[in-house]
Amino acid sequence: MDIQTSLLQICGRIRDSRYRTEITQLYSFSKYKDVSREEFEAEINRDVAIAEQNAQAYDRLVGAERERLIKDFLPKSPYIGVDGNGRIVMDRNLANYEIVNYNIVNGIYRSQVNMAAALKDAGLNVVTSTEEDEPDEELESLKSIERTSFKEIFEEYCSLKAKPIRYDLSFRESRIAQEKPLVVEAYMKLGPEKVRQMKYHIYNIKRELVKLSHETQDVKIFLLIDPLLEKGVAIPRSEIKELLEKAYRTLGINYKAKATELKRWYNLRETTKRGDDGKPVSCFVVVSAKIKAGQ
């Protein structure tokens, strides 16, 4: 979130509330370590150049082929869309937005010192409060969901779905759906018995949901590997190969993976690091994703 504009606009909309003079901001620090701003922007600019060429080619398509492209492919393309006149075009604003977000995440949100400085520059007073607040039932409900294991929350959700509708139960059910959407998706698509057979293992549940999805094979592979792939750090090629082969086996693909195949889904930078024996190990650093897919 941009401190100078977005945060101030949100704060300005808080009026008739006991929170109108004080706001608690929760945020996390950036996990990027090995990707510089210059490298990230260079990758984005390369993607933009390719997207411009693709958009021109796509816009020449007609009939069913064009409709199928707009329906199935464009929603997953990071920079290509359809404008108000129905033309397939490359949207530079999306690329610029990515660069702005990168600068925010890797600058302001990188440390508490940077965050405090940005808030002060925006004209806000940064304080630490030790006063006890009034009990907030809604906040406590969220905390209890966050602290509870997937297994317990899933079984609670199953229990709520089996009971007659009541306001207090509906509130809890909606909170679970909002804070733990995987619980609802697993309940609706896999069913309670299937989830129990899988012993509530979250990655295995996500893997089964990916297999059931109507995404293309490439997108399915991306959805399987992305949660397990650490971004911005050096990853040995052997680990990447093992990760890809696991995804292939899950989808029934009988193929021996190569680490370089990761370039189908990500912009990579080659590097090396010292192994446990002190010898250099060939690695890739994930700079950015080439694909956009909802999970």
Question: Could you list the mean pLDDT of each consecutive 10-residue stretch along the chain, which spans 295 residues?
Answer: 77 77 72 65 82 86 84 76 83 75 73 77 72 53 74 90 65 79 90 93 89 84 89 92 92 90 93 89 91 57
Q: What is the pLDDT at residue 295?
A: 40
Q: What is the pLDDT at residue 155?
A: 93
Q: What is the pLDDT at residue 142?
A: 62
Q: What is the pLDDT at residue 286?
A: 92
- Other C-beta atoms closer than 10 Å to the C-beta of 240 total 23
Q: What is the pLDDT at residue 119?
A: 83
Q: What is the pLDDT at residue 67?
A: 84
Q: What is the pLDDT at residue 197?
A: 94
